[in-house]
């Protein structure tokens, strides 16, 4: 197993939201809610765990923010942080000269620089309400949380860590799906992670899947939907096929929020929709119940 | 069967010349007979040459050819008996997945196949070969049944993807696919999957976690259909041919990457030119592979299958990369 390093959790929690890609910012002191358009003061918004105080919209978190939200303070130890993607197909983009299109290797380097992360998932172990837990937490800001070989390998290692230490596993998903630039290697990560979960299941160790906005495509059709207990944050896009593609296929217009956590709950795909502020205590309850 | 694909134009011209000469029958002059024989030889050589050097995008058009044999054709030509079983015992029966026990030269196997439709009516009936969740749940049920009765599982993969409709979301498409991915690695019977046409996304992989993964020479296997991938990456499905090339989706490209185990050669000009020959090739390969895997104990079988998929993927570490940069 790889070397361990305690990661200072302050690493990605600076108060300026300029450094947080993907967040709509109104200067440094306020953010605008993309759902209800309310202007929220940054300080209140952060205190409210980045949930809109008016409409309850759950903004996306970085992996480290989510770890801080879920794990007991200071308990998280990151593993395999140095795993990175390579370019197994020498993927060439198109059209070659397009300004914001880069070949995969260059794109990876740019994403690492932009996010300060090495890949779209952070794995390790921690305690939640004093119960030990192996965890993998995805980050949408790194290439849309897409799953390539490195993401699949890290998720698999997090599951194997659960098996090795005989502890439950949590995976917090957020992903646009497969990473096209890795072609079939990307698809095979669905088989690899699911096979590892089947092993975990044979050891009778609980697997908790937490779906956050968005969880779609190959990630939803593998480990994200295999939880013994499946939780979701309110209003998260949760689907196999994205709304845009459903609309094209059916020649219809879907109302906003048709395929989300609440839809999944209603159709029997999710066990509970849990507000962000209640996530840690909910995990604690589950860990005690399944201990 | 006409040569109707874009890159087959030179073949179509030769074919036209041949049929014009042939129509003369008895009235054929001596020099015309020589011309005919030459044209026939030319056609064979040209076909060989073109099909040996297909680009990835040309391969896509062969894999999707309207006359390409589908699973039901191979079943008919290859199996002595096939008893189709229907339904997922929960919601309904999906017509894009065809499954049931069958015998191949006396050996009973559980067949689980994608089935596309040939004409408009059948295409609609089979949802263009894109399974609904109940299709994957039928596959799940019958693969478990195969384990119960100790039958090897043979899957034939031929779907551009899983059905992308709202009803599919309502009935849990993601969960249905995930459930088979969770089941297949631990099934205590041999599994062989063959991509006979298109293998697209999770909708294909859902019946593809096998001990051996075979591909027909002109079939394709991909994380997403080229149109979908181009639309995701470049917001324009018109770049599909570039996506297909960049993602290396042909059998010839996937074998050296270690993602598949064997390529089954197709008849000259593609499987649609000789259903019988293709069915014999498939049947022989299945028998050979089943005999080989059949030698393994259940423990060996499961361990090898697990390791096969556990080791798929190419990644590096930052340290390695730094070293490489330093040396460069
Ligand atoms: Zn709001």
pLDDT tens-digit map of B87-100: 999 999 999 999 99
pTM of the model: 0.94
pLDDT of A23 over the 60 cut: no
Verify that A192 and A216 share a domain, yes or no.
yes
pLDDT at B77 over 90: yes
Q: Is the pLDDT of residue B328 over 80?
A: no
Q: Say whether both A236 and A118 belong to one domain.
A: yes
Mean pLDDT rounded to a whole number for chain B: 95
Q: In this complex, do B168 and A186 lie within 8 Å of one another by their Cβ atoms? A: no
Residues of B in contact with A250 (CB under 8 A): 165-166
CB contact under 8 A, B248 and A183: yes
Same domain, A227 and A265: yes
Q: How much is the pLDDT for A10? A: 37
Based on the fold, state whether residues A44 and A111 are members of the same structural domain: no
Q: What is the pLDDT of residues B229-283, one digit of tens each?
A: 998 888 888 899 999 999 999 999 999 999 999 999 999 999 999 999 999 999 9
Q: What is the pLDDT of residue A98?
A: 57
Helix (H), strand (E), coil (C) string for chain B = CCCCCHHHHHHHHHHHHHHHHHHHHHHCCHHHHHHHHHHHHHHHHHHHHHHHCCCHHHHHHHHCCCCCCCHHHHHHHHCCEECCECCCCCCCCCCCEEEEEEEECCEEEEEEEECCCCCHHHHHHCHHHCCCHHHHHHHHHHHHHHHHCCCCEEEEEEECCCCCCHHHHHCCHHHHHHHHHHHHHHCCCCEEEEEEEEEEHHHHHCCCCCCEEEEECCCEEECCCHHHHHHHHHCCHHHHHHHHHHHCCEHHHHCCCCCCCEEECCCCCCHHHCHHHHHHHHHHHHHHHHHHHHCCCHHHHHHHHHHHHHCCCCEEEHHHHHHHHHHC
User: What pLDDT, on a 0 to 100 scale, did the predictor assign at position B325?
Assistant: 65
- At A3 the pLDDT is 41
The alpha carbon of residue B76 is apart from the nearest alpha carbon of chain A, in Å, by 31
**Nearest CB to B254; choose among A176, A184, A259:** A184
Of B168, B178, B183, the CB nearest to A225: B178
Task: For residue A235, give the CATH number of its domain.
Answer: 3.90.226.10
Q: Which domain holds residue A37?
A: 28-59
User: What's the A32 CA to ligand 1 centre distance in angstroms?
Assistant: 8
- Each residue's pLDDT tens digit, B138-154: 999 999 999 999 999 99
In a domain, A253, yes or no: yes
pLDDT tens track for A52-97: 999 999 999 999 999 999 999 999 999 999 999 999 999 988 766 5
To probe the interface with B, which of A180, A204, A218 has the most B CB atoms within 10 Å?
A180
pLDDT at residue B238, rounded to an integer? 87
Q: Answer whether residue A37 is part of any domain.
A: yes
Contact B246 A94 (CB under 8 A): yes
pLDDT score for B29: 87
Tens digits of residue pLDDT in B199-208 = 999 999 999 9
How high is the pLDDT of residue A97? 54
Residues A83 and A54 in one domain: no
The C-alpha of B225 sits at a distance from chain A's nearest C-alpha, in angstroms, of 10
**For chain B, which residues make up each domain, given as ranges?**
6-53, 61-311
What is the number of domains present in chain A?
A: 2
Banded model confidence at residue A100, pLDDT cuts 50, 70, 90: low
Instruction: Say if A110 is an interface residue toward chain B (CB within 8 Å).
Output: no
User: Does A50 fall in a domain?
Assistant: yes
Work out the average pLDDT over A266-275: 98
Q: Which residue(s) pair with A188 in the sheet?
A: none
Picking from B249, B310, B313, the nearest residue to A149 by CB comes out as B313
Q: Which of the residues A144, A176, A191 would you substitute to probe the B interface, choosing the one with the greatest number of B C-beta atoms within 10 Å?
A: A191
Instruction: Quote the pLDDT of residue A101.
Output: 63
User: Mean pLDDT, to the nearest integer, of B204-223?
Assistant: 98
The mean-pLDDT minimum among A36-50, A243-257, B47-61, B181-195 falls in: A243-257
Say yes or no to pLDDT of A20 above 50: no
pLDDT band at A11 (very low <50, low <70, confident <90, very high): very low
Q: What are the residues facing A32 on neighbouring strands?
A: A39
Q: How far is A267 from chain B (nearest CA, A)?
A: 6
Residue A256 confidence class, pLDDT cut points 50, 70, 90: confident
Residue at A214 is within a domain: yes
Same domain, A215 and A259: yes
Residues of chain A neighbouring B223 (CB-CB closer than 8 A):
178, 180, 182-184, 186-187, 218
By C-alpha distance, the chain A residue nearest B254 is: A184
- Whether A169 and chain B come into contact, CB under 8 Å, resolves to no
pLDDT in the model for residue A25: 55
Do A45 and A159 fall within a single domain?
Answer: no
Based on the domain organization, do A32 and A146 belong to the same domain? no
Interchain pair A84, B164: CB under 8 A: no
Question: How far, in Å, from the CA of A247 to the mean position of ligand 1?
Answer: 25
Grade residue B24 by pLDDT with cuts at 50, 70 and 90: confident
Residue B41, pLDDT > 80, answer yes
When scoring A241, A251, A266, A268 by the number of chain B Cβ atoms within 10 A, the one with the most, hence best to mutate, is A241
- pLDDT at residue A2 tops 70: no
At the top level of CATH, the class of B61-311 is alpha beta
pLDDT at A18 over 50: no
Judgement on whether residues A139 and A41 belong to the same structural domain of the protein: no
Domain contains A6: no
A167-181 per-position pLDDT tens digit: 999 999 999 999 999
Whether residue A260 is contained in a domain is answered as: yes
Confidence bin at A9 (pLDDT 50/70/90)? very low
Annotated binding site: which residue ranges of A? 33, 36, 52, 55
Residue set of the binding site of A for Zn(2+): 33, 36, 52, 55
User: What is the predicted pLDDT for the residue at B133?
Assistant: 98
If asked whether residues A188 and A101 sit together in one domain, one would say: yes
Q: Are residues A74 and A179 in the same domain?
A: yes
Average pLDDT, whole number, for chain A?
A: 90
Digit-coded pLDDT (tens) for B170-194:
999 999 999 999 999 999 999 999 9
Query: Could you say which of A89, A176, A195 has the minimum Cβ distance to residue B309?
Result: A195
Q: Does A223 touch chain B (CB under 8 A)?
A: yes
The verdict on A141 and A247 lying in the same domain is yes
Using an 8 Å Cβ cutoff, are A91 and B242 in contact? no
């Amino acid at each position: 197993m790889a070397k361990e390093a305690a990661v200072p959790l302050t690493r990605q929690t600076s108060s300026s939201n300029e450094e947080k890609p993907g967040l709509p910012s109104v200067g440094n002191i306020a953010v605008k809610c993309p759902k209800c358009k309310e202007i929220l003061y940054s300080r209140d918004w952060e205190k409210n765990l980045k949930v809109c105080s008016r409409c309850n919209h759950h903004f996306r978190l970085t992996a480290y923010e989510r770890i801080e939200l879920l794990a007991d303070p200071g308990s998280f130890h990151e593993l395999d942080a140095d795993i990175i993607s390579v370019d197994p197909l020498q993927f060439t983009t198109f059209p070659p000269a397009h300004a914001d299109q880069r070949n995969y290797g260059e794109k990876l380097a740019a994403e690492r620089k932009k996010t300060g992360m090495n890949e779209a998932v952070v794995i390790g172990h921690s305690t939640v309400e004093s119960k030990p837990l192996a965890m993998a937490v995805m980050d949408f800001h790194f290439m849309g949380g897409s799953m390539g070989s490195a993401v699949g390998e890290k998720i698999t290692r997090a599951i194997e860590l659960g098996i090795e230490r005989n502890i439950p596993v949590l995976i917090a998903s957020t992903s646009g799906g497969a990473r096209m630039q890795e072609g079939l290697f990307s698809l095979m990560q669905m088989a690899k992670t699911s096979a590892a979960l089947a092993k975990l299941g044979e050891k009778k160790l609980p697997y908790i899947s937490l779906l956050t906005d968005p969880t779609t495509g190959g990630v939803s059709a593998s480990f994200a939907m295999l939880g013994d207990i499946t939780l979701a944050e309110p209003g998260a896009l949760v689907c196999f096929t994205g709304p845009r593609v459903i609309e094209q296929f059916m020649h219809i217009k879907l109302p906003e929020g048709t395929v989300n956590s609440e839809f999944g709950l209603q159709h029997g795909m999710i066990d509970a929709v849990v507000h962000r502020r209640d996530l840690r205590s909910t995990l604690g309850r589950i860990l005690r119940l399944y201990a | 069967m006409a040569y109707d694909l874009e890159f087959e134009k030179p073949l179509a011209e030769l074919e036209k010349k041949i049929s014009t000469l042939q129509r003369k029958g008895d009235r054929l002059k001596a020099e015309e007979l020589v011309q005919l024989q030459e044209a026939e030889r030319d056609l064979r050589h040209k076909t060989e040459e073109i099909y040996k050097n297909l680009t990835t995008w040309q391969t896509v058009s062969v894999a999707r050819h309207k006359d390409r044999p589908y699973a039901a054709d191979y079943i008919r030509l290859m199996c002595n008996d096939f008893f189709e079983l229907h339904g997922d015992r929960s919601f309904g029966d999906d017509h894009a997945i065809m499954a049931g026990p069958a015998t191949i030269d006396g050996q009973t196997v559980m067949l689980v196949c994608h089935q596309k439709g040939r004409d408009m009516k059948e295409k609609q009936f089979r949802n263009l070969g894109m399974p609904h969740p109940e299709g994957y749940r039928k596959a799940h049920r019958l693969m478990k049944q195969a384990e119960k009765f100790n039958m090897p599982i043979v899957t034939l993969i031929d779907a551009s993807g899983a059905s992308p409709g709202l009803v599919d979301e309502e009935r849990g498409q993601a969960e249905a696919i995930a459930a088979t991915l969770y089941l297949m690695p631990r099934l205590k019977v041999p599994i062989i999957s063959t991509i006979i046409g298109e293998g697209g996304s999770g909708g294909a992989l859902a019946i593809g976690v096998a001990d051996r993964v075979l591909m027909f020479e002109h079939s394709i296997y991909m994380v997403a259909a080229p149109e979908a991938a181009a639309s995701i990456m470049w917001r324009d499905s018109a770049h599909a041919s570039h996506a297909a090339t960049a993602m290396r989706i042909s059998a010839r490209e996937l074998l050296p990457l270690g993602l598949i185990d064997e390529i089954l050669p197709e008849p000259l000009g593609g499987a649609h030119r000789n259903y019988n020959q293709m069915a014999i090739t498939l049947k022989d390969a299945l028998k050979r592979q089943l005999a080989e895997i059949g030698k393994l104990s259940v423990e060996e079988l499961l361990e090898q299958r697990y390791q096969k998929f556990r080791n798929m993927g190419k990644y590096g570490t930052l340290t390695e990369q730094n070293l490489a940069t330093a040396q460069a």
